[in-house]
């Protein structure tokens, strides 16, 4: 029996190491392909350059970085309060029958293909923005709204888990001291779950900054610095997806270098989420 258990343990360890190895190989491949252009152009020039014209030898990705940040932060501004409110409703307020219906519906949102979100954005959201707010409609605002909806399942599910992990004694103690239900939620339960909720927000940002198809369809893909939320822009992911098919030489290296920057952004957000989750477990 012990021999059998040892083989199971080693098999599981091998599976875990294979995942780490695949991640390391992908990161190494992207870095090797993108490092030459960053070394030749200079890291700061590559990151802070405002002109992207590969056919003319200009490889500045600052407009794409700014576009990604605008879209991601805009998505978080929409998804964070709405996701937290929905999680609080499901855990603290909703009757069991209502929660049993709403939770699967939220999970279903995560299974909808991103191209469907982009299609709905083009048909419904873009004309609304163009008619009521101005601009071409294909803009940072449209992309932020679509991404905000797409990351809601991530934010809601993690915030919900964090709220459910708060001991019931916290709620009972607050109510025993004379707090109303809302006071107990807002001043005791939510602060106690703050680390987990923050981790959900960060992971939502990671999902938003890595999204491609829906963003391509609604953001406008203009290679310029966005001056407002109604201006078109281009993100790091959309830049790679749009140009990789025909890129070669230095152009291809620049796109791989863009992937390195995107990879670092994602790793930083995931690491921050892991730190927040660790704080929640310590509490």
Coil, strand or helix: which one is 167?
coil
Mean pLDDT of 219-238: 89
DSSP state of 139: S
Residue 280 is predicted with a pLDDT of 53
Mean pLDDT of 129-149: 90
Enumerate residues 6+ apart whose C-beta is below 8 A from 71: 140, 143, 144, 147, 208, 209, 215, 219, 233, 235
Q: What is the pLDDT of residues 149-199, one digit of tens each?
A: 999 998 999 999 889 888 888 888 888 888 888 888 888 888 888 888 888
- With beta carbons less than 8 A apart as the criterion, state whether 234 and 219 touch: yes
Query: Across-strand partners of 53?
Result: 58
Q: Give the other-Cβ count within 10 Å of 191's Cβ.
A: 12
Q: What is the pLDDT of residues 4-46, one digit of tens each?
A: 778 888 888 888 888 889 888 888 888 888 888 888 888 888 8
Q: Is the pLDDT of residue 134 over 60?
A: yes
Mean pLDDT of 242-252: 86
Domains located in the chain, CATH noted = 48-282 (1.10.3720.10)
The band of 277, judged by pLDDT with boundaries at 50, 70 and 90, is low
- What is this structure's pTM? 0.85
Residue 73 is predicted with a pLDDT of 92
The band of 276, judged by pLDDT with boundaries at 50, 70 and 90, is low
């Amino acid at each position: 029996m012990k021999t059998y258990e040892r083989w199971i343990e080693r098999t599981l360890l091998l599976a875990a190491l294979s995942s780490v190895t695949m991640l390391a190989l992908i990161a190494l491949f992207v870095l090797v392909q993108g490092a030459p252009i960053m070394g030749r152009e200079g890291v700061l020039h590559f990151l802070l350059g405002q002109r992207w014209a590969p056919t003319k030898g200009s490889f500045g990705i600052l407009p794409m970085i700014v576009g990604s940040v605008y879209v991601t932060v805009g998505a978080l501004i929409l998804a964070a309060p709405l996701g937290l409110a929905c999680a609080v409703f499901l855990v603290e307020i909703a009757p069991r029958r209502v929660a049993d219906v709403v939770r699967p519906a939220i999970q279903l949102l995560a299974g909808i293909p991103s191209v469907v979100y982009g299609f709905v954005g083009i048909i419904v959201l873009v004309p609304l923005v163009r008619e009521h707010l101005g601009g071409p409609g294909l803009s940072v605002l449209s992309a932020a709204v679509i991404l905000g909806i797409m990351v809601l399942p991530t934010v809601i599910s993690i915030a919900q888990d964090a709220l459910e992990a708060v001991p019931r004694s916290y709620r009972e103690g607050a109510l025993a001291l004379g707090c109303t239900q809302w006071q107990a939620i807002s001043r005791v339960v939510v602060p106690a779950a703050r680390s987990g909720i923050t981790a959900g927000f960060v992971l939502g940002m990671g999902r938003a900054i890595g999204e491609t198809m829906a963003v391509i369809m609604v953001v406008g893909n203009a290679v310029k610095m966005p001056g407002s939320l109604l201006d078109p822009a281009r993100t790091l992911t959309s830049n790679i997806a749009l140009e990789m098919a025909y890129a070669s030489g230095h152009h291809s290296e620049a796109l791989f270098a863009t992937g390195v920057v995107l990879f670092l952004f994602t790793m930083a957000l995931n690491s921050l989420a892991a730190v927040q989750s660790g704080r929640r477990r310590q509490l």
